[in-house]
Amino acid sequence: MLKIETTHDSNFTTLHLIGEVDASNSIELDEQITGLVESGAKKILVDGTKLEYISSAGLGVFMSYIEDFQENEISLVIYGLNERVYQVFRILGLDQLIKIKSDKEEALRV
Amino acid sequence: MLKLPNLNIGKISLLVAIMTWLALLFVDITRLFGKINQLDSSIAPEISYILQIIFFIMVYLFFHHSIQKSEKSNFLDLIWRGASTGLLATVVSLLISLFYYMLGDSRLASDPILKNVFYHIDFGFITLFLVSCTLLWKHLILYQKNKRIVNQWQGFEVGLLISMFFVFFNQNSLDYSFLFGLGVLVIFGISLSVNLKWIPYLTFKEKWKSILYLVVILISSSYLFIQILSYSSSLTPYLNLTDNLFLLALFAFVFIYSLFSFLVTLFNLPTSSVFEQKLVEAINFQRLSQSIKPGQNENQVLDILMDSCMSAAYVDAAWMEILDVKGNRNVIHQRFIGNKERKELQKLIEETKPFSDFIWDSKLNDSKTFIGKLTDFKYKSAMIIPLVIHKKTLGKIYLVKEVKDGFNKEMTNIIATFVGQACISVENYRLLNEALKNERYKEELQIAQRVQRSLLPSKLHHDDSFQIHGFSEAADEVGGDYYETQALGEGKYAIIIGDVSGKGTSAAFNMSQMKGVFHSLVQLNPSPSEFLIKANSALSHCLERNHFITTSYYVLDTVAQEITYSRAGHCPTLFFKAKENASEYLSIDGMGLGVLRSKLYEKYVHQKVVSYEPGDIMILFTDGIIEAKNQSGEEFGYERLKKSVNGSHELTASQIQQKIIEDMYEFIGSSSLPDDDYSLLVIKFLQKPQ
């Protein structure tokens, strides 16, 4: 089960991921991010404090935006991941391409 | 060659009957003529009797045949045939009486020969009427036959046959033996006449018609009987044909059965609508229970259900509310009520007890009915029946009546049964559709699974200096786990383990691409980092945008006793050091193949070397093992894997593999099957043989 909540602040948008991202609902996440890009968001924060699990399909979603975001100068920062989920990002090497911070303050400083 | 002509019993028996009747007429008139003119004619009455018996039998055969031919005709047609023959016989008899009435006192009126001719005509028609009716009654009596009734009827027929010959015995005089014979046959006839099972199957209208026909038969037979009596009292000079035991017995039987039928039909009239209703309900039930045929949909079943419920409870208006996929309430099958009126009524019903107790989400709606009073101006009582499939309420039926307390127990029961059956039909239909869909999906999966399994090697390359054992198990879906080895020569071996992101067919195909890449590149004998860089650039062109492959590549040098390795996003390798009796995960940075599809990828590839000694163990695995969860959602994790290996390091490679899988199964518990696939490669280094 995955629930995605979006909050808009003056200069950034936050996606709150609640639950688990797996093959069945990774499309939802993909649609949400695409929607933000289309609406012209330049700074996207992903709140992972309530993210309990992410499968390879979920990682694939983040991975697929890396080059797009670099080209279009959109910044995406993930924060608040628990240790287990962070390890999943780290093992794949995504931590080297995506900014992953421990909390919101740090994420905002980027 | 002698060829038998196709005999038509009906026609022949009719022909013989007519001829016998003519012969009988001729014989009797000749005798009478002789008597009148006091000639010594020696025609014995026995000749007439024999001819009479032949006539009876032929008429019997004729009607037996003609009724059997019209086997399919309904009860009403049969009774009408009896009534029409009765009418014919009566009309003929009346015409004869009229003829004599018009003759008045003329000489012709008292001519015995003419009178005798008419007597024979009357006799013939009465026989026709009685025999045809008897056979029609036979048909009705044997409508729902069992052995007992058939035997009884056959006994009756034998009795009738004997009664034909009785005439030789007593010359048609009314003595005690005659009365005894008649008594026996009448009692027989009465006992047969209680078989009236065909009557309930008549509709109300048909019952009225049959009553009319039966009255005709009753009047005809009464009139003809009186006619016979008048003949027998005034007929002294002629041979008496009609005071025959056979004929009188038939009279009695035809009359009694008609009377019984008449009375029973008459008293059945008021209850016939109930029987008709039950019949309709039975048919409706059958229609509902037939599973929905291809090309039809649930709606047709619900349509039949509405009709059935409405006719079962004589309701004045009804509608059905169905939840659609999104949970919206849609009103369908609205009957005898307008939209506006229905909305108001529905609002009223939902606010009234006990209907307000209805809860959509309740799991106990199955076979529940809500019946109560309404305070509406027009409708006084209402009933709500939820439609439940698999404890899920998918809709409800509203039935309203203009009378108070309009729903009795029988109605409620039959409606509940209808609803239950309709729900089963709808459920079966849905299950069937689902099964068909699943079947297609399964077939596709099976192909993918076959592809995937054929990609895993059946044999792993090694020499005497190390054991290697592989294990891979896919969850119910196709996964993308992959491992393979290749001998590079000079005691060197390439080993790869990988995991393709995603599941299903696409994972299996990506895995086959990975296998292709491995077999192409391994020919070039690349270092692990070279392998990953080249594999990344090859796969960048063929992987979908959001797909990647994690892998670890090892070159095992058995001469130098060292392993060179690189990791591309794959789970770290577990390495057991025998000397230290402890295991560690080999840490090295890396990035999954396809994550970064440019030259920049090279920056993220690293390569390390680790040397080994005999007794050391290397465990290559995929994340399915680490992420296997138990019932409380806890993962098997890296630490448990470590512990499992530490505890089994003395075993052979294949035993270690079994131990790890056993430990993992024990951890997750047998009830919850892992939803990922997991693969394992155990390599154990041995003392090199000298």
Report residue B259's pLDDT band, with 50, 70 and 90 as the boundaries. very high
Torsion angle of C-alpha atoms B662, B481, A66, B606, degrees rounded to 10: 80
**Cβ separation of A67 and B597 shorter than 8 Å?**
yes
In order of B95, B111, B119, B323, B612, the CA distances from B105 in angstroms are 17, 11, 19, 91, 147
pLDDT the model gives residue B320: 92
User: B1 pLDDT exceeds 60?
Assistant: no
Distance from CA of A19 to the nearest CA of B (A): 13
Nearest to B591 among A23, A84, A96 (CB): A96
The most confident of A18-32, A34-48, B431-445, B554-568, by mean pLDDT: B554-568
Report residue B5's pLDDT band, with 50, 70 and 90 as the boundaries. low
A91 interfacial to chain B (CB closer than 8 Å): yes
Nearest to B569 among A23, A66, A91 (CB): A91
**Cβ separation of B546 and A60 shorter than 8 Å?**
yes
B307 is written with which tokens? 């009709």
Give me the mean pLDDT over the B398-423 stretch: 88
Number of Cα atoms under 13 Å in the Cβ half of residue B85: 21
Output helix, strand, coil percentages for chain A, rounded to the nearest 5.
45, 30, 25
User: A77-86, B562-571, B623-632: which range is least confident on average?
Assistant: B623-632
Picking from A91, A95, A98 by the largest number of B CB atoms within 10 A of its own CB, the best residue to mutate is: A91
**Chain A stretch 4-23, residues whose beta carbon is closer than 8 A to a beta carbon of chain B:** 23
Give me the mean pLDDT over the B604-625 stretch: 93
Question: How confident is the model over B127-181, as pLDDT tens digits?
Answer: 999 999 999 999 888 888 889 999 999 999 999 999 888 888 776 666 788 888 8
- Report the length, in residues, of chain A: 110
Rounded Cα distance between A52 and B622, Å, is: 20
User: B92 pLDDT exceeds 90?
Assistant: yes
Element (DSSP H or E) covering residue B470: strand B466-473
User: A71 pLDDT exceeds 60?
Assistant: yes
User: B78 pLDDT exceeds 80?
Assistant: yes
Residue B241 has φ and ψ, to the nearest 5°, of -100, -25
Rounded Cα distance between B276 and B306, Å, is: 19
Q: What is the 3-state secondary structure (H, E, C) of B64-106?
A: HHHHHHCCCCCHHHHHHHHHHHHHHHHHHHHHHHHHHHHHCCC
**Cβ separation of B502 and A64 shorter than 8 Å?**
no
Nearest to A56 among B502, B597, B635 (CB): B502
Q: What is the 3-state secondary structure (H, E, C) of B524-540?
A: CCCCHHHHHHHHHHHHH
Q: What is the 3-state secondary structure (H, E, C) of B327-396?
A: CCEEEEEEECCCHHHHHHHHHHHHHCCCHHHCCCCCCCCCCCCEEEECCCCCCCEEEEEEEEECCEEEEE
CATH number for the region B456-685 comes to: 3.60.40.10
**Cβ separation of A60 and B501 shorter than 8 Å?**
yes
User: B370 pLDDT exceeds 80?
Assistant: yes
User: B119 pLDDT exceeds 70?
Assistant: yes
Rounded Cα distance between A71 and B547, Å, is: 20
B397 is written with which tokens? 């039926």
**Chain B stretch 618-657, residues whose beta carbon is closer than 8 A to a beta carbon of chain A:** 623, 635
Give me the mean pLDDT over the B525-535 stretch: 95
Let me know if domain B290-433 sits in CATH 3.30.450.40: yes
User: B331 pLDDT exceeds 70?
Assistant: yes
Quote the mean pLDDT of chain B.
87
Contact between B308 and B281 under an 8 Å Cβ cutoff? The reply is yes
Superfamily covering domain A2-105: STAS domain (3.30.750.24)
DSSP code at position B292 = P
Q: Which residues of A touch B499 (CB under 8 A)?
A: 56
pLDDT the model gives residue B237: 57
pLDDT the model gives residue B3: 54
Torsion angle of C-alpha atoms B182, B184, B187, B193, degrees rounded to 10: -80
Residue B314 has φ and ψ, to the nearest 5°, of 50, 50
User: B101 pLDDT exceeds 90?
Assistant: no
Give me the mean pLDDT over the B14-29 stretch: 91
Q: What is the pTM of this model?
A: 0.54
Report residue B651's pLDDT band, with 50, 70 and 90 as the boundaries. very high
Give me the mean pLDDT over the A90-106 stretch: 90
**Cβ separation of B548 and A96 shorter than 8 Å?**
no
pLDDT the model gives residue B653: 92
Nearest to A93 among B499, B598, B604 (CB): B604
**Cβ separation of B596 and A91 shorter than 8 Å?**
no
B549 interfacial to chain A (CB closer than 8 Å): no
Distance from CA of A61 to the nearest CA of B (A): 6
pLDDT the model gives residue B202: 85
pLDDT the model gives residue B634: 86
A24 interfacial to chain B (CB closer than 8 Å): no
Distance from CA of A25 to the nearest CA of B (A): 12
A96 interfacial to chain B (CB closer than 8 Å): yes
Give me the mean pLDDT over the B406-411 stretch: 87
pLDDT the model gives residue B40: 65
pLDDT the model gives residue B576: 94
Q: Which residues contact B141 (CB under 8 A, 6 or more apart)?
A: B149, B153, B192, B193, B195, B257
Interface pTM (ipTM) of the complex?
A: 0.91
- Three-state DSSP at B593 gives strand
A64 interfacial to chain B (CB closer than 8 Å): yes
Question: How confident is the model over B467-520, as pLDDT tens digits?
Answer: 999 998 876 566 678 899 999 988 999 999 998 877 777 787 888 889 999 999
B479 interfacial to chain A (CB closer than 8 Å): no
User: B294 pLDDT exceeds 80?
Assistant: no
Q: Which residues of A touch B597 (CB under 8 A)?
A: 67
Residue in chain A closest to B600 (alpha carbons) equals: A97
Query: Percent of chain B, pLDDT > 70?
Result: 94
Residue from B16, B22, B23, B19 nearest B62 by CA: B16
- The residue behind tokens 């209208």 is B205
User: B418 pLDDT exceeds 60?
Assistant: yes
DSSP code at position B321 = E
pLDDT the model gives residue B509: 82
**Where do the structural domains in chain B lie, given as residue ranges?**
74-274, 290-433, 456-685
A28 interfacial to chain B (CB closer than 8 Å): no
B15 is written with which tokens? 């022909």
Residue in chain B closest to A30 (alpha carbons) equals: B546
Rounded Cα distance between A21 and B105, Å, is: 119
